């Protein structure tokens, strides 16, 4: 999944990154732009992540089990 952190002090937002990378960028932003203020704001989760396989692996396993079950019935 991809994450984007929003600054709680200004309109800055990170790009869509892994959770740790996005958090790291937010911490760097606060250190440069808002020194002395602990990082805050909000986190947005991209549920339409193009790298996600969704339910495809589950469907593949079910299909293989169906083929296995059909081949065992003779």
Query: Mind listing the pLDDT tens digit for each residue in 1-36?
Result: 788 999 999 999 999 888 899 999 999 999 999 999
The pLDDT value recorded for residue 27 is 94
Q: Does the pLDDT of residue 74 top 70, yes or no?
A: no
Q: Which residues contact 44 (CB under 8 A, 6 or more apart)?
A: 3, 4, 5, 6, 13
Lowest mean pLDDT of 20-24, 38-42, 44-48, name the range: 44-48
Question: Can you give the residue ranges of every domain in the chain?
Answer: 2-72
Q: What would the mean pLDDT of 25-50 be, rounded to a whole number?
A: 89
Q: What is the pTM of this model?
A: 0.62
């Amino acid at each position: 999944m991809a994450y984007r952190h929003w600054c709680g002090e200004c309109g800055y937002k990170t790009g869509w990154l892994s959770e740790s990378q996005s958090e790291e960028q937010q911490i760097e932003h606060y250190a440069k732009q808002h020194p002395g203020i602990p990082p805050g704001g909000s986190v947005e989760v991209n549920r339409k992540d193009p790298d996600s396989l969704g339910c495809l692996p589950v469907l593949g396993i079910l299909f293989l089990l169906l083929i296995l079950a059909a081949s065992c019935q003779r």
